[in-house]
Chains A and B, each alone.
Chain A
């Protein structure tokens, strides 16, 4: 991923769909159409704030066959490093942003015999586009949508109108909870389950699915978590020959980018492995927060995922 590969867009509509979630419509500034994409894709939105640039991934929730604009949903995060606050507070209709081409790390399995979709809160967003891909097709599917209360169920009207009884809503406020054991223990062979929501929900679904004997390849998850914060530290980039300071609320990747050095990336969430970087030397310990490296790779101390991982160290030398 390089800076050159971005598309200029303008915000053409903003709606407050729930107390915490804003819906944005992004159209290309030069008119024309945006690239086609597959349901489950996300785009990296580049926001130029006063102090720093933010690059956050957001699922594209608009129908994949409508390419005059992309729609995204942004939840205002309580402990934000600035990205969601920027979107909620600083972006207006007419604001300009840059986005990267859609990337899909959460695609529907094309030979599945059934799809079970599980959404928690803002995790509904990728499913809106995926449902468009499934609608009217031969493969059965259902959506289980868990929210804190009815007013927080974003896009529920649109979902119900289109999908009717295929949508099952669960409100914490009404003591409704998804019965994962019942749900996952009774699916026909060839079913795939997709979960997007808080980390705890994802862990629970994965654990129950495994317990019911599902193989990993039939369990799909996507999580939008902000890179964990931590103590500040210094890193030296061997090839670029510069020293980079990593503050507590900025990721290693963001800090390196802010210093003007590009690192290839795709998901920015520690899942895809694209930003994997060689560690030449570390005097201290690496704090791995990714989902990609093996135990052995983590223990080797020779590699790191700068998008989510950090270090507690006196010095860190990277091959960048």
Chain B
């Protein structure tokens, strides 16, 4: 896929973010049917169709440069969005290797990685980075390895150490989150971190997910989709900045919902890491305004139905309470009651 980057796109203030038609067509729709409830919807992270968001293990799209710029802005104001406990250094290097290898292999027009033993040479053309460093030697990079590389990747990254039969959230770069705080959660176990998610615990979702992830194998990553909604294409919907984006929720009406409200989908990838035996969790965020979304007829019908019938606890947990009805009203004309086909692909 030839990517024309849009470096001046913004995810704050003027919100100039827009999806091209190609970006709309490849959008990872999270609803395979007209109703939604939690499940352990994990599947092998294998190559999807060419041009799709899962064609490559780590996806780069037209928003790449703009998202990296946005991340830099968040970090400049709040350095604690990146944290790594001291014992996570080998995991940081594992992540750096994973991301550099993937990007160089899958997007050779943009990235290059040359290695002579531990002497590595990394080129990132879109961001203008050309860097020699020694793999494994922290002093050869001006930032911690995970910090350095995730500033050059879209989406959030969380690294969990595996010990005592559990997974511990102990390093991460989190600037595009849907309302959770790395600073608060660092040090938590898998289930503690997911503590604030309603219902799923009672369904046994996290027990099964944890058991599965504890046996995650090298060379066999998995993925799943998660979703919520955001007012304006704002990536940084952190609890830290809730005072700034919270008021947006009260600004949605049945008239403006199409432009203000975005479906926000997380493509989550999970890899076992080689040297640290840790698990890295990538949370890649895709946004699409309702107006863009309804250009695909099937999606207009389906999203209307999903939101209309959504379990009240999920409405609350996903922060939709104040504007769900306005959204449903805006979407109603796009739902003619025609049955939809199962699966997420546009018809």
Measured CB to CB, the residues of A under 8 A from B are 1, 5, 35-38, 41, 64-65, 101-104, 107, 109-111, 217, 266, 272-274
Contact = CB atoms under 8 A, between A and B. Distances in A.
Contact of A35 (B161, B163, B219): B219
29 contacts: A5-B217, A5-B219, A5-B220, A35-B219, A35-B274, A37-B218, A37-B275, A38-B274, A38-B275, A38-B276, A41-B277, A64-B275, A65-B136, A101-B219, A101-B220, A102-B218, A103-B218, A104-B277, A107-B162, A107-B277, A109-B163, A110-B163, A110-B276, A111-B87, A111-B161, A111-B163, A217-B164, A266-B215, A272-B215
A273 B214 CA distance: 11
Contacts of A102: 218, 274
Interchain residue pairs A-B with the least CB separation, the first 5: A36-B274, A110-B87, A38-B277, A101-B218, A101-B219
Interface in B207-252: 215, 217-220
Nearest to A109: B163
B342 interface: no
Contacts of A5: 217, 219-220
A213 to B, nearest CB: 17
Interface in B257-301: 274-277
Contacts of A35: 218-219, 274
Given A38-B274, A64-B275, A107 B163 contact: yes
B145 to A, nearest CB: 14
B49 to A, nearest CB: 20
B217 A1 contact: yes
B154 to A, nearest CB: 25
Contacts of A272: 215
Nearest to A65: B136
A272 B87 CA distance: 25
Nearest to A104: B277
A128 B338 CA distance: 65
Nearest to A266: B215
Nearest to B118: A65
B128 interface: no
A266 B219 CA distance: 13
Contacts, number: 50
Nearest to B88: A110
Contacts of B165: 217
Given A64-B275, A107-B162, A101 B217 contact: yes
A255 B88 CA distance: 42
B161 A274 contact: no
Nearest to B163: A109
A36 B275 contact: yes
Contacts of A104: 277
Contacts of A101: 217-220
Contacts of B219: 5, 35, 101
Contacts of A36: 94, 97, 274-275
Nearest to B115: A33
A1 B220 CA distance: 9
Given A101-B218, A274-B215, 20 more contacts: A1-B217, A5-B220, A35-B218, A35-B274, A36-B94, A36-B97, A37-B218, A37-B274, A38-B275, A38-B277, A41-B277, A64-B275, A104-B277, A107-B162, A109-B163, A111-B87, A217-B164, A266-B215, A266-B217, A272-B215
Contacts of B220: 5, 101
Contact of A109 (B94, B164, B215): B164
Contacts of A107: 162-163, 277
Nearest to B161: A110
Contacts of A217: 164-165
A318 to B, nearest CB: 21
A75 to B, nearest CB: 25
**Residue with the greatest number of chain A CB neighbours at <10 A, chosen from B88, B136, B165, B274:** B274
Contacts of B218: 35, 37, 101-103
